[in-house]
Amino acid sequence: MDLATIRPQAGTQAFFRHREVGDRVLITNFEGNHLLLSRDEFTLFARGEVADASDLHLRLTAGNFLRASYDVRKAAGALQARKRFLHAGPNLHIFVVTLRCNETCVYCHASRANMDQVQTDMSPEIAEKAVELALRSTSPFITIEFQGGEPLVNFAVVQHICSYASRRAQELGKQLQFTMVSNFALMTEEKLDFLLEHRVQLCTSIDGPEALHNAQRKLPTMDAHQRAVYWIKRINQRYVDMGLDPTLYHVEALLTTTRETLPRWKEVVDTYVGLGCKALFLRPIDPFGFADRTRLRLEYPRSAYLEFYRNAVDYMLALNRQGVQILERYAGIFLTKILRGEDPNFLDLRSPAGAGIGQLAYNYDGKIFSCDEGRMLHEMGDSKFHLGDVFTSSYRDIVGHETVRAMVLASNLDGQPDCVNCAYQPYCGTIPTFNHKNQGSIFGRMRESSVCAVHKGIQDYLFEKLAEADPHTLQSFDRWTTNRAREHFVQPPAASP
């Protein structure tokens, strides 16, 4: 029977949304519970003809899908747990310590500057003022992330921020951690000693096999891949030497998926596994920065990306069966919401999104933006997401800015016309800066959005796997959603007096 011809009978079902997934029908409710029904089961449910003593009735009752037994307190508790990230202010504070970079990436979305443009370095004075603003957040846990350009170019200011912010966080009773996104080409043993001593979590980019990486992330010496690999292995060994669990403590690596990446899904996964990486984030290319200029050469249909995604994750699951530890980050984020009823607080997949209320970005010159993408758009000549500066703006000025309020409204999926009836609404999110850049509105039009297409495609794949219920796959999904705190990266508390 065509599902479009079925008209639910009022008085039996509680609120639900539905979507065809393979030969099943997925139903979800307001608080994010889900059931995968056969078509016959869905017909009975939609017509209000489910027998009281049936197995289907028990499953629907347990999932809070029936009006007569709907548990409001249970639903409210589940929704509160999913929205726990709203209880405090921005926890991620991105410090762009320089725009200078020694690599020239074909898709660069950081609007890099040449190595001689020292005027794009953050000063110690601006760094201290940015730290003070970040630590005024109502979040008890603060992450300062060093970005660029290449943050190792301005390493003296990185060192200053680590020392200053650690001292101030202890004085204010804040928990603090540092992360750094680096290409590692300027890493030295002395710099590494400092970063490890100050518990800075390190992340780099690996675009797959050597030839592809070096073609996309270019050094004058054409050895970007070799340098990154050397330091990944070196840092991971240092963690082992420190007695840290290598399954938890290792270099995180990010992939940017271009047109050249799509047919090489197996090589990409094998490269990450060979480096000892435990996770792979299959991110599509985005439209910011220099990537916009090279879009026609790098872009691809999102249908091609989704085929790449399915192939790569199928292969990763096959490796899991052989005992190889590797997970896909998108899947881990969505599955944590789907299977555990928790939100891992990935800022671009929240409702509302994290711009302004989950993160802030501090440019090298002291300007403050709602998010790093807003900062990138500013470098491209569009300053709509500029919120203030570290010299004249108060914390209240920044988080209460009208742009932040507008972005919260725009990214609340309860108010998105194309999202309110989508079965994936409880697990999804939209990105106002991306909508603005691609569609001219922070609200966007989801049915025309490539981000929406990717999110739906990935969740279709995941629910197909859940419907198959292969025990090995389900075991992998359980591991992919198991959160283990990496407490070593948290700055130690102040010494007792």
Mean per-residue pLDDT pooled into runs of 10, the chain (497 residues):
56 92 97 97 94 95 96 96 93 97 81 91 98 97 96 98 97 96 97 98 94 91 95 96 93 91 96 93 78 69 94 98 96 97 93 97 98 92 96 97 97 93 96 94 94 96 98 97 89 66
At 497 the pLDDT is 46
The token duo for 369 is 């933006």
b/e string for 363-400 if b means 16 or more Cβ within 10 A? bbebbbbbbbbbbbbbbbeeeebbbbbbeebebeebbe
DSSP 183-203: --TT--HHHHHHHHHTTEEEE
How far apart are alpha carbons 125 and 138 in whole angstroms? 23
Cβ distance 200 to 85 under 8 Å? no
Q: Please, which residues have CB within 8 angstroms of residue 249's CB and are 6 or more apart in sequence?
A: 239, 486, 488
The token duo for 490 is 């948290």
* Residue 61 three-state SS: helix
Expressed in angstroms, the distance from the first to the final Cα of the chain is: 73
Cβ distance 369 to 361 under 8 Å? yes
Cβ distance 201 to 489 under 8 Å? yes
Instruction: With residue 234 as reference, give the H or E element that holds it.
Output: helix 224-241
Q: Using alpha carbons, select from 191, 112, 188 the residue that is nearest to residue 147.
A: 112
At 303 the pLDDT is 92
How far apart are alpha carbons 307 and 458 in whole angstroms? 10
Read off the pTM.
0.94
H-helix segments, 37-183: 39-47, 55-62, 72-82, 124-134, 155-172
Q: Using alpha carbons, select from 349, 346, 350, 354 the residue that is nearest to residue 370.
A: 354
Cα atoms in the 13 Å half-sphere on the side-chain side of 381: 2
Cβ distance 25 to 18 under 8 Å? yes
Cα dist from 364 to 19, 118, 119, 160, 433, whole Å:
46, 11, 9, 14, 20
Cβ distance 29 to 64 under 8 Å? yes
Strands 367-369 and 359-362: antiparallel
- Chain center to CA of 177: 18
Q: What single letter denotes the amino acid at residue 99?
A: L
Cβ distance 422 to 463 under 8 Å? no
CB atoms within 10 A of CB 433: 29
At 166 the pLDDT is 97
Phi then psi dihedrals of residue 96, to 5 deg? -90, 95
At 485 the pLDDT is 84
Domains in the chain: boundaries: 3-82, 89-378
The token duo for 461 is 């794949």
Topology, domain 89-378: TIM Barrel (3.20.20)
* Residue 339 three-state SS: helix
Cα dist from 53 to 56, 57, 61, 84, whole Å:
8, 7, 11, 36
CB atoms within 10 A of CB 7: 8
Q: At what angle do helices 471-480 and 329-340 cross, to 10 degrees?
A: 100
How far apart are alpha carbons 431 and 283 in whole angstroms? 14
* Residue 98 three-state SS: strand
- Beta-strand runs (E) in 206-292: 217-218, 252-257, 279-280, 282-284
Phi then psi dihedrals of residue 142, to 5 deg? -115, 130
